[in-house]
Structure 1
Amino acid sequence: MMSSTKKFKFPTAFTILFAILIIAVGLTWIVPAGSYSKLTYNNTTQQFVVKTYQQDDKFLPATQESLENLNIKIKLNNFLEGTIKKPIAIPGTYQQVEQQPKGIKDITLSMVEGTIEAADVMVFIFVLGGMIGVINRTGSFNAGLTALAKRTKGREFFIVFCVSVLMLIGGTTCGIEEEAVAFYPILAPIFIALGYDAIVCVGAIFLASSMGTAFSTINPFSVVIASNAAGIQFTEGMGFRFLGLVLGGISVITYLYWYCKRVKADPTFSFCYEEREEFNQRYLKNFQTDDKTELVFTKKRKVILTLFCIAFPIMVWGVMAGGWWFPQMASSFLAITILIMFISRLSEEDVLNAFTAGASDLVGVSLIIGLARGVNLVLDEGMISDTILNYTSNIVAGMPSSVFILAQLVIFIFLGLFVPSSSGLAVLSMPIMAPLADAVGIPRHIVVSAYNWGQYAMLFLAPTGLVLVTLQMLHIPFNKWVKFVMPMIGMLLLIGSILLVVQVSLYA
């Protein structure tokens, strides 16, 4: 007689986000609505604009004196040069406003509106999938992987090491996040073919880049904009952040080495062992062939893979130096795909079918991004984010310096769940949180470090961030990821807490 009990299967990313969306709607009924007045710079009129809930906009001259009068300790050039573009919360202006509860209709409406808002990211992902589909059709990945597997036999971890180091550098310098999704479809089959599992791919890319971003040194999207919003130079505290980067990087690489070694010796140790057949079918289907001629790494295929590899440094350069964003990145990938089409000499029909099939593989990933944006829209339109910020800032006011900074770390972990954008949380929280450091006699750059380390400890797990997008792309259950990443979250918080207390003690 067969047992009627079924093994529990952890919910998919869609179900998790849908549940969180319902919770967010519920919070708009429970948490009091509130709002800070926000300051923006109008580049056309060259004036400051103060927006207050249900009041007419106020226009102020764009001068340092105007900022001082608003108790905003930010240099004027940060607004004039476009370093700070998002609205700045004005200290001391919080007010409770009329409740803005969301209803049942807002659940599905926010899903649609969030998807529309994420259209630029989704197009980028579709083009990426299409490009990979075309390259797969040429047999270049197939042949390249075979050649790579032969050359790295016995030292497979070297590839994981190199990818991790590059991601750490990318995270600390330019905060590579959404752009990293471009690496998963190609690196996942490589890591699996080398004897590892898909979660190693997430570790080498997402975990390493996030650890690098947590310990940002010159990342313009987190530590630079947070320092500017706090009214200080981003170079302040860089020595401690660099030390944290070294310690965090060593922790990640050591952890990945331990895990890879265990999986290599015993595949059943893999956190994703139950999903191995699905992984192999999904990621190695293009590399399993009985036709040996398909595995020849010809000059044409080398050229195609070289063009594919060139696409990524071009993308990074464009983001860092060229002011690119997702439309420009998608455009560059599309241009390289067209070039590959001519080099491969595939027929128009073959290219179109391959591109469409590759893009369709990432439809689910794109919809996850839209759903996550929908959660953020509910929280913003429900006007509860400012209330949470005001409440948490009142909690830490007046605490002893060591307790204060550790409490700040905890608060930024909490705020990271509600505001997953690093730049968004920086401009919202720093004008409020940074002045609190003055009252306890510590430099503001320590609060910037607490913001960076706390928020990213949450973003390793936050469903409203990129983690569910990543896991959906590689079909890794969320609970398996939590089991894998918790030691690194603990290490990040341990390193961060020690460095924060040491910095505070130096100024006590």
Structure 2
Amino acid sequence: MKKQKKKQIQFPTAFTVLFIVLILAAILTYIVPAGLYSRLEYNVEENVFKVEDHKGEISTLPATQETLDRLNIKMNIDKFLSGSIKKPIAIPGTYERIEQSPQGILPIIMSPIQGVMDTVDIMVFVLILGGIIGLINKTGTFDAGIAALSRKTKGKEFLLVIFVSALIAVGGTTFGLAEETIALYPILMPIFIASGYDAIVCIAAIYMGSSIGTMFSTVNPFSVVIASDAAGISFSEGLTFRIISLVLAMIITLIYIYRYANKVKKDPKNSLIYDDMEKIEEKFLEDYDPENVVPFNWRRILILIVFLAAFPVMVWGVSTGVWWFPEMSGLFLAVTFIIAFLSGLSEKEAVNTFLDGAADLIGVVLIIGVARAINIVMDNGMISDTLLHYTSSIIENMNRGLFAAVQMILFSFLGFFIPSSSGLATLSMPIMAPLADTVGISRAVVVTAYNWGQGWMAFITPTGLILATLEMVDVTYNKWLKFILPLMGIIGVFSILMLALQTIL
């Protein structure tokens, strides 16, 4: 009688991981006391400050420097009048406990529905991208392009990793390039696999390029600029230090990726996802045969040019603050019409191909909605302000080096509960930044700690983009953790050392 093979324990899917985190977040709303800071917002039409207290009552105050000084908000009035600070900010010393708002079974069930409704703009963007990728694949453009690029990079394939990571990092550090990179995985994954790398190398090149860029932001208006304004300083303070740190962190990351990529290239069995590679290759190289590749003719070259030309237009729109996801979706929808015309496919074939491509990313868009559900549960539980209140009390009167290091760790913790970079900046900076004065260091250190702490946690946080990314390329979360945790530790130690250095400069 043959022995039955022992069934391997499968790591849960991204959806299960998110639902576990969702339930843990709901449990926290029973344990962590609910509380709120009063918030101040500048009303442009009336030229006054509106203050909302913990009871939800709104009062009006003159929009003057004297008002800010009296409320212990150590910021210049010009930051509000110029529009640099648009979101409500927390008023120091106003934290109050409120009635507990635990999130039970019904809120847990409803939160993914609300999450989908809140993120529908991102979901539409991703679905349109899926459709357009399917359309381009149908024309054979990517296969022909892969073959051409493979011939050009033969023997120096890692240059592609360096180029992709560096380019995305520049986008991350200047305007927070993150969600937009989802469009790159279906394009670059076949190229990386055909070059002898595995899916993790492709994820690392794109996701870590974005993560390092946004973590070590230099002039990103959605994080470091808003945080500096909310801290009452110019974003140029500490800029040179942040640029140097970005370059060093990028070098560390590329060396780490290179060591792993080189091992996989020498022997595919060294891949962390070796058992899944056949399935992944079938998905991304289904019609790709290096011995029988369709020609890279004028039609396919033109299709690729039209598609790639959309990206600099998108970067312009987002970086100028004129566009967000609805406009980006409109851009790629227009590109879809052009490519459908150039493809030579019949109307019916083009439409069905687009719909099939969009359908392939249904799982990805649902993950985005479920991830948002976690934040909804915590927001409705009114525990975010309490966590900020507790963390700010921890770091009072610490010595300089320890103050900076602990701040980064605390911001990484807060970043899990408040994933919006601008939201965390406007909520926390008026509370955290003045604490730098008490230990005799620049407030730029607090801005750096905020940016690095939140960005560091983004390497793994399930409420961020990583689970949607992994779902797109069929890699499980545990495999990503196995790859990224050593690098996360290295970058964490590097960041703390650099923060300690910043306190004495």
Superposition TM-score, scaled by structure 2 size: 0.97
Deviations 1:174-221, CA, capped at 9 Å, x for gaps: 111111111111111111111101111111111121111111111111
1:178 maps to what in 2? 179
5 Å-filtered alignment, 1:76-475, equals: 76-288=77-289, 292=292, 295-321=294-320, 323-475=322-474
Q: Partners in 2 of 1:362 and 1:82 — Cα distance?
A: 38
Report how far residue 4 of structure 1 moved. 5.8
Q: Partners in 1 of 2:467 and 2:38 — Cα distance?
A: 33
Q: Partners in 1 of 2:481 and 2:405 — Cα distance?
A: 24
Q: Which amino acid aligns with 2:366?
A: L
Q: Partners in 1 of 2:337 and 2:148 — Cα distance?
A: 25
Q: Partners in 1 of 2:148 and 2:24 — Cα distance?
A: 50
- 8 Å CA contact 2:306–2:335 kept in 1: the answer is yes
Q: Partners in 1 of 2:4 and 2:417 — Cα distance?
A: 43
- 8 Å CA contact 1:146–1:295 kept in 2: the answer is no
Report how far residue 238 of structure 1 moved. 1.2
Q: Partners in 2 of 1:271 and 1:106 — Cα distance?
A: 38
- 8 Å CA contact 2:193–2:281 kept in 1: the answer is yes
Q: Which amino acid aligns with 1:100?
A: S
Residue 287 of structure 2 aligns to a residue in which SS?
Answer: helix
Report how far residue 322 of structure 1 moved. 5.0
Question: How much identity, in percent, do the aligned residues show?
Answer: 53
Q: Partners in 2 of 1:474 and 1:42 — Cα distance?
A: 45
1:75 maps to what in 2? 76
Q: Partners in 2 of 1:322 and 1:503 — Cα distance?
A: 31
Q: Which runs of 5+ in 2 are unaligned?
A: none
The worse-fitting range, judged by mean Cα deviation, of 55-64 and 149-158 is 55-64
5 Å-filtered alignment, 1:29-68, equals: 29-68=30-69
Deviations 1:330-361, CA, capped at 9 Å, x for gaps: 10011111111112232111111111011111
Deviations 1:266-312, CA, capped at 9 Å, x for gaps: 0011111111011111111132498x4x6111101000001111111
Q: Partners in 2 of 1:492 and 1:223 — Cα distance?
A: 19
Q: Partners in 1 of 2:485 and 2:420 — Cα distance?
A: 21
Deviations 1:26-64, CA, capped at 9 Å, x for gaps: 111111000001112223333221111224211122233
Q: Partners in 1 of 2:40 and 2:345 — Cα distance?
A: 54
Q: Partners in 2 of 1:85 and 1:16 — Cα distance?
A: 35
Q: Partners in 2 of 1:319 and 1:143 — Cα distance?
A: 31
Q: Partners in 1 of 2:26 and 2:78 — Cα distance?
A: 39
Report how far residue 5 of structure 1 moved. 2.9
How many residue pairs get aligned? The number is 504
Q: Partners in 1 of 2:22 and 2:389 — Cα distance?
A: 23
The worse-fitting range, judged by mean Cα deviation, of 338-347 and 326-335 is 338-347
2:23 maps to what in 1? 22
Q: Which amino acid aligns with 2:246?
A: L
Q: Partners in 1 of 2:5 and 2:281 — Cα distance?
A: 29
Q: Which amino acid aligns with 1:28?
A: T
- 8 Å CA contact 1:124–1:329 kept in 2: the answer is yes
Q: Partners in 1 of 2:149 and 2:200 — Cα distance?
A: 20
Q: Partners in 2 of 1:83 and 1:285 — Cα distance?
A: 49
Q: Partners in 2 of 1:356 and 1:286 — Cα distance?
A: 19
Superposition TM-score, scaled by structure 1 size: 0.97
Q: Partners in 2 of 1:36 and 1:71 — Cα distance?
A: 13
Q: Which runs of 5+ in 1 are unaligned?
A: none
- 8 Å CA contact 1:453–1:492 kept in 2: the answer is no
- 8 Å CA contact 1:67–1:74 kept in 2: the answer is yes
2:475 maps to what in 1? 476
Report how far residue 157 of structure 1 moved. 1.1
Q: Partners in 2 of 1:326 and 1:75 — Cα distance?
A: 32
Q: Which amino acid aligns with 1:280?
A: E
Report how far residue 85 of structure 1 moved. 2.3
The worse-fitting range, judged by mean Cα deviation, of 277-286 and 370-379 is 277-286
- 8 Å CA contact 2:35–2:96 kept in 1: the answer is yes
Report how far residue 135 of structure 1 moved. 0.9
- 8 Å CA contact 1:248–1:491 kept in 2: the answer is no
- 8 Å CA contact 2:147–2:290 kept in 1: the answer is no
Q: Partners in 1 of 2:308 and 2:119 — Cα distance?
A: 26
Report how far residue 166 of structure 1 moved. 0.3
The worse-fitting range, judged by mean Cα deviation, of 67-76 and 257-266 is 67-76
Q: Partners in 1 of 2:162 and 2:413 — Cα distance?
A: 32
Residue 87 of structure 2 aligns to a residue in which SS?
Answer: coil
Q: Partners in 2 of 1:6 and 1:335 — Cα distance?
A: 49
Q: Partners in 1 of 2:335 and 2:83 — Cα distance?
A: 31
Q: Partners in 2 of 1:234 and 1:322 — Cα distance?
A: 18
Q: Which amino acid aligns with 1:388?
A: L
1:498 maps to what in 2? 497
Report how far residue 329 of structure 1 moved. 0.5
Q: Which amino acid aligns with 1:71?
A: N
Residue 287 of structure 1 aligns to a residue in which SS?
Answer: coil
Residue 154 of structure 1 aligns to a residue in which SS?
Answer: coil
The worse-fitting range, judged by mean Cα deviation, of 355-364 and 339-348 is 339-348
- 8 Å CA contact 1:244–1:495 kept in 2: the answer is no
- 8 Å CA contact 2:166–2:209 kept in 1: the answer is yes
Residue 151 of structure 1 aligns to a residue in which SS?
Answer: helix
Q: Partners in 1 of 2:263 and 2:440 — Cα distance?
A: 48
Q: Partners in 1 of 2:382 and 2:428 — Cα distance?
A: 15
- 8 Å CA contact 2:124–2:329 kept in 1: the answer is yes
